[in-house]
Structure 1
Amino acid sequence: MQTPPEEMKPHVAFLPSPGMGHVIPLFQLAKRLVFDHAFQVSFFLITTHSSAAQDQFTRAAAQLSPHLRIICLPEADVSAIISQDMRILTQICVITTESIKPLKPMLIDLNPTPVALIIDIFTTDVISICEELSIPVYSFFTASTPLLALSLYLPTLDLEVEGEFVDLPVPVEIPGCKNMRTEDLVDQVKDRKNDEYKWYLFNVSRLQYAAGILVNTWENLDVQRITALKQNSFFRSIPTPPVFPIGPLIKEEETLTEKDAEILAWLDNQPCESVLFVALGSGGTLSSKQLVELAWGLEMSQQRFLLVVRKPSDASASGTYFTVGSDEDDPSAYLPDGFLEKTSGVGVVVPSWAPQLPILRHGSTGGFLSHCGWNSALESLVQGVPMIAWPMYAEQRMNATMLVEEIGVAVKAAAEIGEVVVGRKEIETVVREVMEGEKGKMLRRRAAELKRSANEALESGGSSDRSLSLLVDIWKSNLKI
C-alpha cells in the first residue's frame, strides 16, 4: 500500500492527564492510528510533576515514528496551589488545569488542523478551547465499563441523593446495569464535601459534550453495560455520545534492562504456570503491617512467587503515583526479618518496578496478585492469567467485583470482618487455591476463554476492530483537503 503524502494524512491530537495509567492506553491508540491507518499524530504530554517512568517513556516514544510527534507542554509552577494534604485526583486536576493554559495557541499552530482531539476523563477543560477552534473532542475512557456507567449516572445521582452515597441503605441502581454496592463505589465519590468529589463530578458532567466516548474494553466482556450505554432510554436522554469499545489496548512491548533480563531468565527455569506474580500497580503502596502479612502469607503458601515491592507507606495506598520509576530502595530494609532467607530459591523480590507484560506473557506465570487497575486487569486477561484481586484505591474495588463475580477470572483476598489488614493465613489459602487447587484450574480455563475472546475482538472484522474502523472513517471524512 502506498503511503499518502503528509498533507493527505488525517491528523489527530491526544492529551492524556498525568499518570502512566492514562498515558499508556492513549499512546497505544495513537500508535495504532499511525502504523495501521496511516494517520499523523501530535501527542501532548503534561510534564508538571511527571514521574521518572513518564520521562523514560517520553524518550522512547519520541523515537518511534516521524508521524507520531511528542509535544511536551511547558512545566507549570503549581507550588503555591498544591498542598501535601490534597488527594491524588485533586492534584491531577489542578496540574492539568495549570498545564493546559498554553494549549490553545499550540493547537492553532498545528498543521494541518487536527480532525479530532482525544482526551481522557480528567482533561475535559480543553473541550471549550476546542469548541472555539472547531476541533471535535473524543473522550478515551481508560477505566472499566462499571466506572463509565457510574460516571455518566453521577450527575443524576448528585441531584437526587442527599447526604453521602456510602450511607445509602441499598446498592446504587444504575439504569440498565447491574446494581453497585456502596462499598465498591470509586473513592472519589465517597466524600461529597471534599474537593476531589467536586473535580470528579465536574469532569464526568462534561462527558456529554464529547463527540464520542472510546472505551478500553470489548463488547463480549461486558455486553450488559455496553448495551445499556448505547440503547437504554436513560443514557440516550442525557444524552450520551456514541460509545466505541475499541479495546483491549495494552502495551505491546517493554524496553528491558539488564535487571529485567535476569528476572525473565529466572522465570525460564521455573515449571509451567508455577509462579505467582505479585505487583500492585504504578501507584500502589502497602502499609507496613500489610506488607509483613503479605510476605509471610507468600512464604507459608510454599508457592513460587515474583514479588514487586516498594517501601511501605502508612499514609496513603497511592503514595507512589507521582514517583513511580524513581530510585529503588533496598527491600531487606522493610521486609520482615528472615523472609528473604526463608524464600531463597522459591521466590524473587524485585524493588519498585518490573516488566509486567513480559512476566504475564511468560509460560511460567500461573497467577497474578493484582491491585485490579484496569490496565493491569486487561494485560492479565489478554495473556490468559487468572488473578487474585487485591484492590487498593480509586475504582479498583468495582473492578475486583467485576473480575470475581461477573467475569469469573479472579478470587479476592479478604480481610476478616472489622479488620483492615488481610492476614497471612488468608493469603496462604488464596494463593494455594489459585496456584494448585481446583478453583485455580477453573479460573485458568476461564482466563484462556477470555484470551481468545480478546484476540478475536481485535482481529480484522472483530468487534473492536469494527469500532475503531468506524472512528477512522469519521475522522477521514472530516479531513479538509
Structure 2
Amino acid sequence: MEASGTAEAPRPPHVAMLVTPGMGHLVPLAELAKRLAARHGVTATLITFASTASATQRSFLASLSAAISSMSLPPVDLSDLPPGATIETLMSEECARLVPALTGVLSGLRETTRLVAYVADLFGADSFDAAVAAGVPRRYLFHPGNLHGLTFILHLPEIDVSMPGEFRDLAEPVRLPGCVPIPGPDVMSSFQDKSDPCYRWMVHHAKRYLESEAILVNSFDAVEPEAARVLSHPEPGRPPVYNIGPLIRADAGEEPRAACLDWLDRQPHKSVIFVSFGSGGSLPTEEMHELALGLELSGQRFLWVVRSPSDEGSVNANYYDAESKKDPLAYLPDVGLLVPSWVPQTEVLAHEATGGFLVHCGWNSVLESLVHGVPMVAWPLFAEQRQNAVMLSEGVKAAMRVPATKRKEEIAAAVREVMAGQGKGAQVRANVAALQKAAMEALLEGGAATTALDEVVRKWTREYC
C-alpha cells in the first residue's frame, strides 16, 4: 500500500477538569477551558456531577465551543448522610464515592485523546486517586476563590493542631502570611464548627492539596498583593501557585435580551445600584424588608434580583438549584425595580447606568465587579464570603461593608456613600478603578495571568509522553 503523502495531524493536548457542584465552580473552569483553547489549542472535557444537572447548567454547557466537551458522572446515593449535612460535606462525599466511576472516564479519555493533565477544583482533591489509577501524567488543583482563602486552607492542618476552641470565640483576629487579619467570626463558615464533619473534610482536603503538581488560582496580584508576594516564593512541600485570573463569564450566550437591560438603558450614567446575592443565596424575610426599606431610603435607583426568603432553610438554600422556590416579590413592599431569580449579571455590571453593586462577596461576583469597574457594598452570607468581605473592605478597600445589624438606615448610608463617592466611598471608587486597570493588564500579552498560564501549558506539552 502506498503512503498517502500527508502526515496525520497530531492530536491537540487535552485536559480533563472535574467541576464540583455549583455554577460558581463551573463558570471559571469553563472560562479557563476557553482561554486554553483560544490561546494554546488545548481541548478540554468538563466533568460534572449528576446532583447539579439543572436546566441552567445544561444550557451553559451546550453554549460552549466544540473544543470543550462535557459529561456527567453517575448519580451517587447520599441518603446515609444526616439531614443537616453541609454543602461542603455533600460535595466531598459525592466526589470520594465517584472515584471508581471517574477512573473509568479518565481511562477512556486517555485512549481517545492526548490527555496531558487533570484539573480538580477545591472540593475534588480525593479525585486525584482516579487520575493516578488512570495514569494521567499531571494533576493540578484549581482554586476558584482567592489567595486569602487558599492560604487559610493550606495553613488549616497546622492551625487545627495548634489552636484549641472555635474560630468564632477567638479574642484576636487570625493572622496569616500576606493576609489581612481575619476576625474569628468572619473565618469561612466551613471552619466554624470543629465537631461538624465539614470541618474534618476541609482539613483532609488541605492535606491532599499538597499532592497537586501546582495550584491554579482565580485571582490577580493587585487585589491581594501581599498574599501574591508570599505565595510566589517556593516553599518546600507546597505546590507552586499560579494566579491566572480574573476568569469571569465573558459572554451571555444567545439568550433573548433581558428586559432589565432595556430599563437600564433609560437610566442616567452610573445612577443604579445593582443588588444580587448570587446564584445560591437568599435572605431571611426580616432582612429582605430592611434591605427594601434601606434601598428606598437611600434615594438611589436600584435593580434587585430577588429570591424567596430563607426562613425555612438556610442562607445557602438555593445552592444546588438557583431558581426561587416561591414568588419572592410577594414578600416585599412595593418599591423599586425587582426581578425574580435571575438577570444577565455580567451585562448588568458592564452597563453604563450601573454605578454600584450590593454583593454577597462570592468571588466570581467580586471579580466581575472589579473587571467592570463597579464599586461594591458588601453583604456576605455564607462559605468564604465574610472572609472576602474583610479582605475587600479592610485590605484593598474596594467595598464598604454593611454593619452586621443591617438596619435600614445603615444600609441606606452605605449605598449612598458608595454611589455618591463621598467619604470612604470616594476611596472605594478610586481603588476599584485602579483594580479594573490592573485586572485588564494581567490578561494582556505579557501580563501576569497570561504569562502564568503559558508556563503551565508549556509543562503540559513539553513533558508529555
Query: TM-score category by the smaller chain?
Result: over 0.9
The equivalent residue for 2:126 is 125
Name 1:68's counterpart in structure 2: 68
8 Å Cα contact 1:410/1:443 also seen in 2: yes
Aligned residue in 1 for 2:430: 445
Separation of aligned partners in 1, 2:142 and 2:288:
34
Specify whether residues 41 and 257 from structure 1 end up closer, same or farther in structure 2 by C-alpha distance, changes over 3 A only.
closer
2:374 aligned partner: 385
Match of 1:223 in 2: 225
**Corresponding residue to 1:241 among 239, 242, 246:** 239
- CA 1:177–1:265 in structure 2 vs 1: closer, same or farther (change >3 Å)? closer
| Native 8 Å contact 1:50 1:322 kept in 2 | no
Once the two structures are superposed, residues 334-372 of structure 1 have per-residue CA deviations (whole angstroms, 9 ceiling, x without a partner) of 113xx2xxx3xxx31100111100000000000000000
Summarize deviations over 1:183-229 as a string: whole Å, max 9, x none. Answer: 22111111001011011111121111100000111122222112212
Deviations 1:361-398 (A, max 9, x none): 00000000000000000000000000000001111111
Match of 1:425 in 2: 409
The change in CA–CA distance for 1:51 and 1:151 in structure 2 (over 3 A counts) is same
1:141 alignment partner in structure 2? 143
Alignment deviations for residues 249-304 of structure 1 (CA, whole Å, 9 cap, x no partner): 1000113644x521111101100000000000111110010001101111111210
Matches for 1:146-295 after TM superposition, within 5 Å: 146-231=148-233, 236-237=235-236, 239-255=237-253, 257-258=255-256, 260-295=257-292
2:459: which partner in 1?
Answer: 474
CA distance in 2, matches of 1:271, 1:230: 43
Structure 2 unmatched runs, 5+:
1-6
Residues in 1 aligned to 2:210 and 2:25: alpha-carbon distance in whole angstroms: 20
Q: Which runs of 5 or more structure 1 residues have no equivalent in the other structure? A: 417-421
- Opposite residue 59 of structure 2, the aligned amino acid is Q
Aligned positions of 1:351-370 closer than 5 A: 351-370=340-359
- Separation of aligned partners in 1, 2:121 and 2:9: 27
1:107 corresponding residue in structure 2: 106
1:405 alignment partner in structure 2: 394
Q: How much has 1:437 moved relative to structure 2?
A: 4.2
Distance 1:162 1:118 in 2: 34
The residue identity in structure 2 corresponding to 1:143 is G
- After superposition, the CA RMSD in angstroms is 1.8
Structure 2 contact 258–343 (Cα < 8 Å) conserved: no
| Contact 1:372/1:390 (<8 A) preserved | yes
Give the direction of change, closer, same or farther, for the CA distance of 1:330–1:5 in structure 2 (3 Å limit): farther
Q: For 2:275 and 2:429, how far apart are their aligned partners in 1? A: 17
Shift in alpha-carbon separation, 1:6–1:377, aligned structure 2, 3 A: farther
How has the CA–CA distance of structure 1 residues 199 and 354 changed in structure 2, closer, same or farther, with 3 Å as cutoff?
A: same
Q: Partner of 1:30 in structure 2? A: 33
CA distance in 2, matches of 1:123, 1:176: 26
Quote how far apart the aligned CAs of 1:442 are. 3.4
Partner of 1:45: 48
Q: Structure 1 CA distance, aligned partners of 2:53 and 2:91?
A: 11
Conservation of the 8 A alpha-carbon contact between 1:229 and 1:240: no
Shift of 1:127: 1.2
TM-score where L is the length of structure 1: 0.90
Cα shift readout 1:421-476 (whole Å, capped 9, x = no counterpart): x1111111111111124233432222111111100000000111110110111111
Going from structure 1 to structure 2, the CA distance change for 1:112 and 1:198 (only over 3 Å counts) comes to: same
**Quick one: percent identity of the two aligned structures?**
39
**Compared with structure 1, are the counterparts of its residues 441 and 168 closer, same or farther at alpha carbon in structure 2 (3 Å cutoff)?**
closer
Kindly provide the amino acid, as one letter, of the partner of residue 394 in structure 1: A
From the superposition, tell whether residues 138 and 359 of structure 1 become closer, same or farther in structure 2 (CA, over 3 Å).
same
Residue identity in the other structure for 1:175: P
CA distance in 2, matches of 1:175, 1:319: 34
The letter for the 1-side match of 2:233 is: Q
What letter matches 2:74 in structure 1?
P
SS in 2 for 1:150: helix
SS of the residue aligned with 1:116?
A: strand
Contact 2:306 2:329 in 1 (8 A): no
Give the conservation status (yes or no) of the 8 Å contact 2:180–2:394.
no
CA distance in 2, matches of 1:375, 1:298: 24
Counterpart code for 2:361: C
Deviation, structure 1 residue 47: 1.8
**Would you say the 8 A contact 1:10–1:476 is kept in 2?**
yes
Residue in structure 2 matched with residue 84 of structure 1 by the alignment: 83
Measured in 1, the distance between the counterparts of 2:9 and 2:342 equals 39
Stretch of structure 1 that moved more, 219-228 or 394-403: 219-228
Match of 1:462 among 426, 447, 456: 447
State how far apart, in whole Å, the 2-side matches of 1:448 and 1:173 are. Answer: 28
Other-structure match for 1:419: none
Q: Structure 2 CA distance, aligned partners of 1:218 and 1:187?
A: 24
State how far apart, in whole Å, the 1-side matches of 2:136 and 2:296 are.
Answer: 59
Structure 1 match to 2:3:
none
Corresponding residue SS for 2:367: helix
Structure 1 residue 112 displacement after superposition = 2.9
Stretch moving more, 461-470 or 32-41: 32-41
State the aligned residue count: 454
